Amino acid sequence: MPYTADSVLPEKTLSRAPQPLLFDGDGLGLRPWRADDVSAVHAAFQDPLMHQWHLMRSDSEAEAAGWIETWCKEWEGERGAQWAVVDADTDRLLGRVALRDIRLAEGVAKVAYWTTAAARGQGVAARATNTLTRWAFEEIGFHRLELLHAIANQASCRVAAKTGFALEGTKRSAFLHPDGWHDMHLHARVQGD
């Protein structure tokens, strides 16, 4: 069935080229995930704060290896785009930033991120989100990026505000965390913000 509007981004917009390395110009790098990131990912998910705000937990390095394999395949299928956030000089893992639920035809995706315990409070999530957002709008041509977080996750709300994602509303009882259902803030940026 034909649509009434043209696709914002055609198929193969992402997968026609290898996933790029992105840099913030201030010591932060975003690079594709590698098999040798397994231990660092597993270690990051041993942090109790990760368990509070994320659905997944890593019970073994083999499980983390499976995640990385999946994250790498998402680029090819244009369903998601996941980057390891690293110190540009040492390649030490600082976190993750991603575009999830990509809908190329609509030019829409959801931004997600986490940081390791050692990287928190240093602006890593905001810098990585800014770098990814700039690339998504300026290099690729996305029209809208959304960002969701539990209302109780004030650190994530600060990242959204610092990176120009306007608060658009509240999704009531929208996400199940270990302590029960949480209301979620919906933030977004659109091309030209």
How far is residue 139 from each of residues 13, 14, 42, 190, 191, measured CA to CA in Å? 10, 11, 32, 14, 12
d(CA 149, CA 158): 11
Give the per-residue pLDDT at 177: 84
Buried b (16+ CB within 10 A) or exposed e, 130-155: bbbbebbbeebebbbbbbbbbbebee
Buried b (16+ CB within 10 A) or exposed e, 48-65: eebeebeeeebeeeeebb
Q: Per the confidence metrics, is the pTM higher than 0.85?
A: yes
Give the pairing type, strands 81-87 and 93-103.
antiparallel
Give the per-residue pLDDT at 16: 96
Give the per-residue pLDDT at 2: 65
Q: Which of 33-42, 73-82, 114-123, 176-185 has the lowest mean pLDDT?
A: 176-185
Helices 154-162/124-134 angle, 10° precision? 40
pLDDT in tens, 87-107: 999 999 999 999 999 999 999
d(CA 121, CA 74): 29
d(CA 80, CA 13): 12
Place of tokens 């940026």: 189
d(CA 3, CA 145): 22
- The arithmetic mean of pLDDT across residues 69-73, rounded, is 95
Mean pLDDT of the chain: 94
Q: What token pair was written down for 91?
A: 């390649």
Partners of 168 in the β-ladder: none
> Is residue 172 scored above 70 in pLDDT?
yes
d(CA 55, CA 38): 18
Nearest to 155 by CA among 190, 117, 191: 117
